[in-house]
Amino acid sequence: MFRSHADERRHDAQEASFAPDTHRPWHAHSRAYLLAAVGFMGIFLFGYDTGLGGGVIALPSFAKDFHITGTKAQIAALQGNIVAILQGGAFFGALGGAPLEDYLGRKWSLMVGCWIFIVGGILQVVASSSLGLVYGGRFTAGFGVGLMSMVCPTYASEIAPKEIRGRITGMFQVVVVIGVAFSYWINYGVTFMNASRGAIQWRIPIGFQLVPVGIMVMLLPILKESPRWLATKHKDELALKNLAWIRKLPPTDPAVQFEFAEIIAAIREEEAATQGASWREIGAKGNPFRFVIAFVIFTLQQWSGQNSISYYAPSIFQSIGLVGAKTGLLASGVYGIVKIVATGIFIIFGVDRFGRKKPLLTGIALMSMFLWIVGAIFHTHVPKTGGPVSGASIGMAVCIYLFVIPYCFSVGPLPWVICSEIFSNRTRHFGLMTAAATQWAWNFGVTKATPLMVLKMPNGGIFFFFAAINIISFTLAFFFLPETSGTSLEAMDIIFGSVTKEEREAEIARRAGAIEKAFDDEEKGVSSHVEHHDDIKV
């Protein structure tokens, strides 16, 4: 019943948009790709730090300099603190991002996030023997990452044409997995350094964070501010100018004018319904369910099993019999390459072709299956330390590599794609704040819990746990998640029942007529001015 009703609303939403599906060649959207790529450099840091913490704490030089000793349980708790403190900072950064980007806009909020991250990165690099500076630096850097993690997808979705929006917003996850892979391979590379070099072994991977963020700071001034944010601030002239520039079309082009009319119509409807206060729109008709989706989809994403494997990949691979720090880091590096290839192929060729819901359901089902298999093998063939790697351990490693492929076309990229497009223009910053804060809060919990879960849930128990979570995810997505591909951002209001198709069509037609009349009046004014000038000369 719910699914058929959602399908009807999606059909109405696609019909209500007057902006045509232009299906222009990729280079016609080159400016949208370029702007999104610059914004997503901050997300590289998200991915890089995902793999950085677990790899650095596995280095003997780091353990020696910071006196990481004790029982297995004590070391696991300490490792959890070092890795998870960044997620704690990111949670508060995501919460602070919504009011900041509403006030400053998307572009300058990203700049603020960059400089906060730079301060945190420097604190980590200069740390010597006390974990205090490491904790403080990771929390500060996390605040910057958390802020950027909610601003970047907001900006990308607002500048993307609807026909390639999934591809552009899906770049988020591609950049994340590239960052993860960089961290794995840099951590692996420094293991070949002579142990006598000491602290330089762990300072190199930590210091590398400052390179991409430095490049991002230099490139951010070229970004055009989001036309949709400008429209919410009633800077309509600049909003139309930026929209036309991004689309590589003149402001008088019908495609630009209809898209702009749809943006203005949706924003003015929202303002009229809540007397101009955007925070009231969170509870307006059709909006609460969008926030529920953001919370639930990221809760289940974090407990899908992938993040535990990513953060503690060296330890996970060692736990299944791939012994030795170098062996675990090498296996993690290969794992990172698999994620880049799988995610890139899906985002380039699949996300706008197959939509959101079908790939999500297929991926979750396959992830659950592979986790059940890994748990079963682990339970029946418990890995033994020392000696050659067993066939069972190799089989488990293969299944983990296979597990990540469906993750890369489902639970990995699609929550960000979905949450970046389902919210209205005046609640998108609150919606992405909810999504990012949920992601980082559970990220913190999973990161803290994983080392202890590995110890307390032996013989494959941790894999069974995550497999069961994925069954719950499949059930909820199948019954309650609407398909949103191929629909304009403004038409999401129809899918979620905020307005009807007829109401939106009438408002768009009225706004489009007003815009067309303004251009006609402007042209007549110029023409009459020229004629008057000619009369004077005569």
Distance CA 415, CA 338 (A): 20
Distance CA 511, CA 246 (A): 21
Written as one string, the DSSP assignment of 202-269 is HHHHHHTTHHHHHHHHHHGGGPPPPHHHHHHTT-HHHHHHHHHHHHTS-TTSHHHHHHHHHHHHHHHH
* pLDDT value, residue 160: 92
pLDDT along the chain (538 residues), means of 10: 63 63 74 93 84 73 80 72 84 92 93 95 87 90 93 93 90 88 84 79 90 93 94 93 95 90 87 66 86 96 83 62 62 77 91 93 96 88 69 81 90 93 89 93 82 79 92 95 89 88 82 72 57 44
Residue of 368, 414, 405, 332 whose CA lies nearest to 50: 332
Residue type, 51: G
**Count of residues for the chain?**
538
Q: Residue 279 has what DSSP assignment?
A: G
Q: What is the pTM of this model?
A: 0.82
**Whether 118 contacts 214, CB under 8 Å:** yes
Distance CA 203, CA 182 (A): 15
* pLDDT value, residue 533: 46
* pLDDT value, residue 56: 79
536's tokens:
């004077």
* pLDDT value, residue 452: 77
